[in-house]
Amino acid sequence: MKAARITGYNAVPMLEDIAVPTPGAGEVLVRVTAASINPLDVKLQRGYMHQFFPLVFPYTLGTDLAGEIEQVGPQVEEWRPGDKIVARTDPTAGGAFGEYAVVPAAYLAKPPSTILLDEAAGIPTAAGTAWQGLFETASLTRGQTVLIHAGAGGVGSFAIQFARNAGARVIATASGDGLDIVRRLGAEKGVDYRSRDFAQQVSDVDVVLDTIGGETQQRSYGVLRAGGVLLATSAPPDEALAKAHNVTASFVFHSSEAGRLQRVTEAMDKHGMKVLLDRKTTLRSFDQAFEHQASGRARGKIIVALR
């Protein structure tokens, strides 16, 4: 089978012919329809996440996939060959950018019926991170105000939809055509971070979802009300600054978890939510797609078709 692999940190991803893997106990073999590229894949390739996710080379890139079960391993009872699934593998295991992937059955969820199967590959990490932050960490409720940074990105685009459907007032930062995107997704207000200081436009916010870090995170503490919550996905937050502003700051470290993923896909079905697509491409063009993700200019998700 074909797979996009790296032979070391900072190595250029290359397409290789490798053997189809065999599922072990508690695992399934998935015939991958599509996989999506995440910022995490770029960080893994560059070695930035070595402390948390040390890789063994050669390494097949990718964690987020959608497809059909080809074979079930021993001790798998709830899934059958032919079942359509969406899943997120462990980052250390990778494997999504291969024509077949072995995935623990405990990581599988049913894809939304209202979304094309290839587009469902864009859900696991981005939507799971948004869900984990907003509802499991911040306990977002109806009537609250949430500021979502990079609202036209992968995590941000899902966060806008989740928060809107939870009855929250949504403000999102973006630029260029991203401002139209965030409004279409459900943001009440879009702030152009290139021409306007969001800290001068927004105040008394209950929750900030920061996917950027750095200066953006530093200035976000000041827009929160006393007792508000800052959710950081790119780097651990500054506890001293949080204390100084009388707010709570939490690092949202997303993990593969089928229960959460199933809640996400069911919510997307129920409320007609969509995957914001930057582009769809093929494994043959993986190198260009990976470069585009690394540039930081992607609007939503990059989907790579394996079939």
Q: pTM higher than 0.75, yes or no?
A: yes
Q: Quick check: 161 and 183 in contact, CB under 8 A?
A: no
- What backbone torsions phi and psi does residue 159 show, to the nearest 5 degrees? -60, -40
Domains annotated for the chain, with CATH where assigned, are 2-123+275-305 (3.90.180.10), 125-251 (3.40.50.720)
Candidates 1, 55, 63, 67; CA nearest to 31 is 67
- What backbone torsions phi and psi does residue 137 show, to the nearest 5 degrees? -95, -50
Candidates 111, 114, 136; CA nearest to 123 is 111
pLDDT of amino acid 279: 97
Query: Is residue 54 exposed (0-12), middle (13-18) or buried (19+ Cβ within 10 Å)?
Result: exposed
pLDDT of amino acid 35: 98
pLDDT of amino acid 211: 95
pLDDT of amino acid 223: 98
Candidates 88, 126, 80, 99; CA nearest to 34 is 99
pLDDT of amino acid 235: 87
Quick one: DSSP state of residue 98? B
pLDDT of amino acid 301: 98
Pairing type for strands 169-174 and 145-148 reads: parallel
pLDDT of amino acid 70: 98
Residue with tokens 């391993």: 73
pLDDT of amino acid 9: 98
pLDDT of amino acid 41: 98
pLDDT of amino acid 196: 84
Q: Which residues of the chain have pLDDT under 70?
A: none
- What backbone torsions phi and psi does residue 66 show, to the nearest 5 degrees? -140, 145
